[in-house]
Structure 1
Amino acid sequence: MNGDGVTAPAVALRHATAPGAWPLLGHLPHLATGPLAFLDSLPQHGDLVRVRMGLRDLHVVSDPGLVRRVLTDRRTFDRGGVLYDKVRAVLGNGLATCPNDEHRWQRRALQPAFHRALMERYAATMTAETDALTARWRPGAVVDITEETFRLTTAVAVRTLFSAGITAHAAEELRAALDVLLRGVYTRVVAPAVDLVPSPARHRYRRALARWRAGVAAIVAAYRAAGVDHGDALSLLLAARDGQGRRLSDDELGDQVATLVLAGAETTSSVVAWALRLLADHPETEARLHAELDTALGGRPVTGAELPGLPYTGDVVREVLRLYPPAWAVTRTATRETELAGRLLPPGSTLMCCLYLVHRRRDLFRDPELFDPGRWAAGEVSREAYVPFGLGATKCIGDDFGMTEATLALASVTSRWRLTPVSRRPPRPVPRIVLSPGPLPMLLAAR
């Protein structure tokens, strides 16, 4: 389906090898210095493009049908590849990183924590934390909105998923450590040998990893010692049994805590930060959003009950998710020989489903690089090609949680504040586990 909602004729899928490989290094220099520009160039060569990463091959998938097949065919494709190896080194073997044979029981154990019946309680916490954050703001001050939104969503993750709470100092320690780790993971995916070279960056990464693991272990230990069912995610995990009927160890519980904090913090904070910057760069869109908020809220604080009456605010969030999907690159490993787009792939082949490319296909979206929330109400979006939370059994368990949090945070901030970028230079996405906008200093003004 194209951007006008018209079904396009079927075309044969193409496979290719990316040009411009260096001797021995392959395409690593392109991935290290300009990864998104390099990836943007691949669809013109094929729907499945082989990229050389030193001595390894990576097959980049950008056709939505192929992406759907890779992410839903669990018998042929499993979670694996260098990305998962490096992420597991930080987050462990939790729900977002575990292989297929462990995923079902882990998801079943966590599912009750994301039941719709709990969303009202979560929404109240999200609103309270947003109010607490913005209460520290002052008109005329400049804040790094990327750092502010990360601080907000980390606090929300801690209070909703681990309701017994931790101290503000401990939460800040986790936030700071996670920030270093997220910056370092992408570097280690592109250049695994970086850990072999002594450097200040390697020392910072290892120190942050130690702080992270210690902080997570402290949360788990406090819950075990209390012996109280708080009705939250960690309490559910303490009572859970794995596929063999045994309780989880402290290390396994720590893996789940790490995964949930990441999923509840880094992904949503990136969406909110991008939204605030994009709105500032598009005054007409910002004015339309303000008009909806002013009419629907009438000056009242936003709550979860208000969200159905804020359709355009939701469309702003959906448009940001299209342009900058948090899970922008998802890898899988072929477990058996298979054929994709006419190429025969042997077992062990690594594939990267690049959702960033799928969401920007010119044959599926009108002016795909344009920030235009109005395309949603106009019915111009190919739903098959919009997959910000993944697909199938491994689709993000917290998709409703994340949408609710991002929409509430955006409505709460923009109903009371106007943010102006200190620099008008467009931000460049920083590839981490998510597509971060990087530092975004913005000037605060009360509305």
Structure 2
Amino acid sequence: MSQALPGPDPVWTAGTAPGIFPFLGHATALFRRPLDFLETLPAHGDLVEIRLGPRRAWVVCEPRLVHRMLMDPATFDKGGPLYDRLRGLMGDGLVTCRQDDHRRQRRLLQPAFSPARVAGCADLMGEEAASVCRSWRPGQRVDVTAALLALTTGVTSRLLFSDSLDDRRAAEVRSALAVVVQGLFVRTVVPVDALFRLPTPGNRRYRAAVARLRALVDDLVAERRRGVPRADLLGTLLAAGKDGGRTGDEGSGASGASEEGGRGAAGVLTEREIRDQLVTLLLTGVESTAMCLGSVFGLLAEHPEAEHRLHEEVDAVLAGRTAPGAGELTRLVYTRSVVTETLRLRPPGWLFTRLTTRETELAGRRLPRGATLLYSPYLLHHRAASFPRPEEFRPERWLPGRTAGPPPGALLPFAAGSRKCVGDTFAMTEAVAAVATIARHWRLRAPSGRVGRPRPAATLGPRSLVLLCEPRAHLPGRTPAPVSRAE
């Protein structure tokens, strides 16, 4: 427990970002150069007013203020342009639901992400990582982004659906998600509904991708109902829906919820909620982790010292194994530090919104009920006051005994408070397992020597990362062992 005595409240500053354009506000700057724009805001205050189209919004730039906001979800609820758009895709799943329904949903899903369940998934994570690089050849130019999306789709689909998602449907999921994440970002920074109702090619592609993703999930649910129960997350959700009856075309159940709205009784999921949870977990489990892994290998390609140290640890810990099991994962300390530093430097979730549920005060500014607030983990993670030399990739920041840790609100790759990501431990375990498995056998080099800064969409990460494969010789005069299933 901290022995620090309480001090006086900080003197916060509030201001307005310059460069407001008629109708568009700051949307042009946020769309064209989002990271650069965000980094200019702290110069105007700890709480900075901007315009998203015609809508007023406030960006929270100071970690302690962000921490206060996230720890008070009853006042600062999930909402604003980002979640308005996400609800069109995810419905009212765990990520997007309002605070008054969050506890019920989290209780249903939390057991699937318990430490014991996550540890039990270590082998399948290694198997999927080994499978994506099994066909690589020395000197080959590999589409690393596509490979990592295949990896995370494999892991997530096995968690959700066991082996029900075949190769064809997995490819359709990846294709649909690529369209969705790009479209979500545009719809967040320009929250003008009329623009997205126009029959443009981009709008048609987005609507088709959303419809296809939902249809794929509906097909998997229908197949499972006709088949044998399985001990996966879909099985958990279907068991939670048994007493809730069917909805929509199948009639009214005990919950009285309709297919297009409402929610089940305590402990019960409606048909729509089952689909919403599955779409939510597909989007967050596939896209975000793949972007994190892409950034890991892009950064390692640019930092050979860190790569060399990672290889030394992986070789020592894995010894004769091709992929880590649960026991080895706990010993991959530097590998985990590489992942943590990547999440700091290039967080996949880089911009989020909240909505005030009542009139409140933040940073000395009175905010009305329904006010939109934004916070950016990317911005917070690049503050020199929290992280010395913030633009440098320095995994050693996170080694045991090296640091007292960042202040509250400074590091938020998975948010904080009661709305912290339910799958944070799963995602970290998957990332460490994937990095160790691939790095055990391959170096991935940038053809031009530089990877470059990724451009954000709904998530931040490299969307077309192509690297050269270089096999690793673990002992002098020997070639790498063939990649196979985790032993």
> Which TM class, normalised by the smaller chain length?
over 0.9
Aligned counterpart, 1:392: 417
**How many residue pairs end up in the alignment?**
440
Q: Which residue number corresponds to residue 131 of structure 1?
A: 130
Q: Residue 454 of structure 2 aligns with which residue?
A: 429
Matched, 1:255 2:276: yes
Residue 146 of structure 2 corresponds to: 147
Contact 1:366 1:380 in 2 (8 A): no
Query: Please, what TM-score do these two structures have when normalized by structure 2?
Result: 0.87
Which digits, 9 at most, give the CA deviation of each residue in 1:233-253, with x for residues without a partner? 111111226652484333221
Equivalent position of 1:235 in the other structure:
235
Instruction: Please point out which of 436, 439, 443 is paired with 1:411.
Output: 436
* Paired position in structure 2 for 1:58: 57
Classify 1:180/1:123 alpha carbon distance in 2 versus 1 (closer, same or farther; 3 Å): same
Shift of 1:392: 0.9
Match of 1:312 in 2: 334
Cα offsets for 1:105-135 (capped at 9, x unmatched): 1100111111111123211111111111111
**Which residue, 281, 303, 323 being the options, matches 1:282?**
303
Q: Say which of 287, 291, 294 aligns to 2:312.
A: 291
The 5 Å alignment of 1:40-439 reads 40-191=39-190, 192=192, 193-226=194-227, 228=229, 230-240=230-240, 244-245=265-266, 247-301=268-322, 302-377=324-399, 378-379=402-403, 381-384=405-408, 385-439=410-464
Q: 1:328 to 1:21 in 2, by over 3 A?
A: same
Aligned equivalent of 2:467, options 421, 424, 442 = 442
Offset of 1:227 from its aligned partner?
A: 5.3
Indicate the SS of the match to 1:110.
helix
Of 24-33 and 176-185, more deviation after overlay is shown by: 24-33
**Rg: which structure is higher?**
2
Match of 2:22 in 1: 23
For 1:136 and 1:214, locate their aligned partners in 2 and report how far apart those are by CA, in whole Å. Answer: 31
**Aligned-partner Cα distance in 2 for 1:137–1:194:** 43
Q: Secondary structure at the match of 2:373?
A: strand
Give the C-alpha shift of residue 155 in structure 1.
0.8
Deviation at 1:189, TM superposition (A): 1.3
Describe the SS at the equivalent of 2:172: helix
User: What CA distance in whole angstroms lies between the structure 1 residues aligned with 2:417 and 2:358?
Assistant: 20
- The amino acid across from 1:403 in the alignment is M
Q: Secondary structure at the match of 1:177?
A: helix
Residues 130-162 of structure 1 deviation map (CA, whole Å, 9 limit, x = unaligned)? 111111211121112112111110110001222
**Counterpart Cα distance in 2 of 1:24 and 1:183:** 22
* Most deviating of 381-390 and 171-180: 381-390
Query: Is the 1:158–1:261 Cα contact (8 Å) retained in structure 2?
Result: yes
Which deviates more from structure 2 when the two are superposed, residues 145-154 or residues 299-308?
A: 299-308
Partner of 2:247: none
Supply the distance in 2 between the matched residues of 1:431 and 1:182 (Cα, whole angstroms).
10
Gaps of at least 5 residues in structure 1 are 1-7
Q: How far apart, in 1, do the equivalents of 2:8 and 2:379 lie?
A: 21
Per-residue CA deviation, residues 149-184 of structure 1 (Å, 9 max, x unaligned), is: 111101100012221522211111111111111111
CA distance in 2, matches of 1:259, 1:140: 37
| 1:304 and 1:408 in contact (8 A); partners too | no
In structure 1, what is the Cα distance between the partners aligned to 2:201 and 2:145?
A: 24
Distance in 1 separating the partners of 2:22 and 2:330? 55
What is the CA deviation profile of residues 316-363 of structure 1, one whole-angstrom value per residue up to 9, with x for unaligned ones? 000001112222222110011111111110001000121111111111
Structure 1 length as normaliser, TM-score?
0.94
Secondary structure of the 2:330 match is: helix
Distance, in Å, in 2 between the alignment partners of 1:154 and 1:285 is 28
> Aligned AA for 2:221?
V
Name the SS of the counterpart of 2:434 in structure 1: helix
Query: What SS is found at the alignment partner of 2:231?
Result: coil
In 2, Cα distance between equivalents of 1:250 and 1:11: 48
CA distance in 2, matches of 1:413, 1:157: 18
Per the alignment, do residues 246 and 382 of structure 1 end up closer, same or farther by CA in structure 2, a change over 3 Å counting? closer
Distance in 1 between residues matched to 2:175 and 2:417, nearest whole Å: 33
Contact map agreement 1:238 1:247 (CA 8 A) in 2:
no
Question: For residues 9 and 20 of structure 2, what CA distance do their matches in structure 1 show?
Answer: 31
